[in-house]
Amino acid sequence: MRRTFITLSVLILSIAASCKSDRFKETGTGITAVVQSKQVTIEFLTPSIVRVNKHLIEAQPEKESLSVVKSPDKNTKVNINEEGDDVILSTKKLTVKMDLATGKISFFKQDGSILSQEKLNGSTFKSFDDAGKDSYMVKQGFVLAKDEVIYGLGQVQNSSLQQRNRTIELKNSNHDITIPYICSLKGYSIFWDNYASTSYSDNESETSFESIGDCIDYYFMYGGSGEGTIRQMRELSGQAPMFPLWTLGYWQSKERYKTQFEVVDVLKKYRELQVPIDGMIQDWRYWGEDSVWNAMKWDSKRYPDPKQFAKEIHDLDAHLMVVAWPGFGPLTDQYGEFESKNMLINFDTWPPNSGTKPYDVYNPKARDIYWDYLNRGVFSEGVDAWWLDSTEPDHINVKPEDFIQPTHLGSYQSVSNAFSLMHTTGIYEHQRQTTSEKRVFILTRSSFAGQQRNAATSWSGDVVSDWNVLHDQIPAALNLSVCGIPYWNSDIGGFFVWNFPGGKDNLAYRELYVRWLQFGTFCPMMRSHGTDTPREIWQFGEKGDWSYDAIKKFIHLRYRLLPYLYSTSWQVTSEGKTFMKPLAFDFEEDKKVFDLEHEYLFGESFLVCPVTESMYTNYEKKDKKYVNACENFNGVKNSTVYLPNGCSWYDFWTGEKINGGQLIEKNTPIDVMPLYVKAGSIVPWGPDVQFAEEKGWDNLEIRIYPGANGKFTLYEDEFDNYNYEKGKYSTIEFVYDDQKREVIIKKRNGTYNGMLKERVFNIMVVSDSNAQGIENGQNSIAVKYTGNEKVVKL
């Protein structure tokens, strides 16, 4: 009788499996099913990342993602069950349910609580002629909770941190870096894997993405927290490699230095004034006239010896970044070769009326050719880093037919947003193939999902010098950062100084410049650049002048922070973290920070509140110009700062300890920006240097901010090669026990060439009587350390 029961049970299970296979097919990592004339594929890449792909049955699109590098992990265990009309796929992290009658897909945490869901009948395909190819306008709608907090969409300069109740055309431009990606404070994110201009819309009925495409293709990721969503996006689209230490120093640029001698003389003057600097930037036209735009050759009259140029920069302990563009003038060798091989995209790019055309970045052979010229003409001369300008690219004299012309990967309109991604891919991959002794460092005006893997840092474009624009940089940077792009900066002082007659000589502009530079000190890259007026420190006065002294003070502060910055970079690379993040990512229980767009967290310890309003200049804004500035910058003004609830905070400048969860007034004279450190933080304090590698880190101050337990990992390597990828680096973990008032310096892990064998850590407990701001603190405890664990009683 028992054997009969077993046989009957097997028969029932076989019938159930047969019924299941009639409605969907298991693939090992998910399922495929046909629902309402659409083939739907649900595929788990990891237990936390799932891909949803939909296309019409009659179409069989083949798509290889430009952004996604993660392959499905075959070891991911996916449990699949059928309940009525629902098929339910579960992993240890995430549950996905699809209604086999309607096709609606919902996403749940393992405790059964809903994360997000598609809108019923929210998947639409509308026929579209894509440059003669039968395609579609594809749209997917989602239903979000009414009070759900959403960030993302890239660098959209709309003054907003949250992206609810907005309609935005996601199209890369000079000022906008658009990424079809949103993340929720519920701990999940959605990446719409499409490279065409995309319409994003959020309203009471739905949140949707709509683009040209052969299929609906998106990734749903569950990270469990705000920062967890960044980690998932990096796993999906690629990790960010380490930059050299020197890239975290100060950079000087302008539009433009006109000879190699001018660049070297600027650097020499910085050294004479003893103002720290690590990078000089050569902007455009070093090649000559616009007809040979971007020739990747040096004008022999103004740059007679490029190798000597780079050598003089290096002999002054700095590095050289040189601009390169994606377009070529009609008289360049590159233009001729690309044209003969049908590798130009036929529209006008910068500069106007020059006949300059961009190359087909989507073609790998074209990227090979581009690097060959760049390497022979520029990189081989000793250049250290790249400024890849106009990577949207600029599009001048726009005509409808420009968008329907073919590229290597399809019509230009279908892949336009990925231009920068493909262009930087070519530079990164080719330089890595050329040498491992010099890390790739790219500054680029545009970006797209996955570009962090190309060692690229983005900047916010040719923004106008204005207080409102300065304010808008903060939420723009934060929303780009949450999309997985960790490195960002802006032109300190703004690019165009139209609103300030007299430029650097206008006291109103000097105030704006100083405040912008203070913000730039707490960005991943600190770079002064612009047109209309020069930006070198001596243009703002001399020692003793308020503007000069304030600028020098914050450049010195940047260099004291180098051990903290470099260790944070390692967290970015090894743990999927980020430099700049919204306060809500660490304080999601405090609703007051959800829309707080003018403050942010910098690494794990600092709360930064840039001053984004004029305090000292009594100006008249007449005809959109700032005029009639006063000259008194000695008085003390105030800024309002909100300190999030959930911990205590220390005023960086005074050491005062303040409870969170309150608005405070902070004195902000022209040389002070509101800056706070979270209780429990451990901050390494570097030596006073003129360039990043001037002194070793053999005598670091370790600042302890009591009031909570804390830990920090100090990361060190050879600073500028790829040996760290082979394990050539070291980490030292510091752990602070607040109750015991004890610091444990743990055993050092790892080794690298040139590693310090002996060192001293000067442990200092911060308080209102023992805090010196930028200067070294008092009453520190000197601890000799040779790599073994030490316990320090405070």
Q: Which backbone phi and psi does 763 adopt, to 5 degrees? A: -85, 125
Q: Cα–Cα distance between 452 and 386 in angstroms, integer?
A: 15
Task: Please say if 360 is a catalytic residue.
Answer: no
DSSP class of 483? T
DSSP class of 436? S
Bridge partners (DSSP) of residue 642 are 663
191's CB contacts (< 8 A; 6+ apart) are 67, 180, 181, 218, 219, 221, 233, 236, 237, 449
Q: What is the DSSP string of 320-362?
A: EEEEE-SEE-TTSHHHHHHHHTT-B--SB-SSTTTT-EEB-TT
Alpha-carbon distances, residue 570 vs 46, 321, 724, 787 (angstroms): 24, 23, 10, 20
Cα angle 561, 566, 570; round to 5: 145
Q: Are 752 and 732 in contact (CB under 8 A)?
A: no
Region for residue 192 given its phi and psi (left: phi exceeds 0; alpha: psi -120 to 50; beta: otherwise): beta
Residue 552, helix vs strand vs coil: helix
DSSP class of 241? P
Of the candidates 402, 429, 462, 693, the residue annotated as catalytic is 462
Q: Which pair of tokens denotes residue 658? A: 């303040």
498's CB contacts (< 8 A; 6+ apart) are 464, 465, 532, 624, 625
Q: Are strands 600-602 and 580-581 parallel, antiparallel or unpaired?
A: antiparallel
Alpha-carbon distances, residue 402 vs 399, 407, 411, 414, 666 (angstroms): 5, 11, 10, 12, 53
Task: Please say if 392 is a catalytic residue.
Answer: yes
Of the candidates 392, 472, 590, 604, the residue annotated as catalytic is 392
182: exposed, middle or buried (C-beta count within 10 Å: 0-12, 13-18, 19+)? buried
Count the neighbouring beta carbons within 10 Å of the beta carbon of residue 549: 18
Q: Which pair of tokens denotes residue 147? A: 């009070």
Q: Which backbone phi and psi does 198 adopt, to 5 degrees? A: -125, 135
Instruction: Tell me the chain's radius of gyration from C-alpha atoms.
Output: 28
Q: Containing H/E element for 407?
A: strand 406-407
Q: Containing H/E element for 422?
A: helix 419-434
Task: Please say if 348 is a catalytic residue.
Answer: no
Q: Containing H/E element for 621?
A: strand 620-622
Distance between start and end Cα atoms, the chain: 76
Q: Are 662 and 649 in contact (CB under 8 A)?
A: no
Residue 55, helix vs strand vs coil: strand
Cα angle 449, 193, 242; round to 5: 20
Q: Cα–Cα distance between 557 and 647 in angstroms, integer?
A: 25
Pick the closest to residue 215 from 399, 384, 370, 58 (CA basis): 58
Of the candidates 389, 491, 588, 651, the residue annotated as catalytic is 389
Pick the closest to residue 685 from 605, 752, 610, 769 (CA basis): 605
Q: Are 257 and 293 in contact (CB under 8 A)?
A: no
Alpha-carbon distances, residue 373 vs 88, 337, 339, 430, 563 (angstroms): 54, 11, 15, 12, 37
Q: Which pair of tokens denotes residue 735? A: 């752990």
Amino acid letter, 687: P
Which positions are annotated as active-site residues? Answer: 389, 392, 462
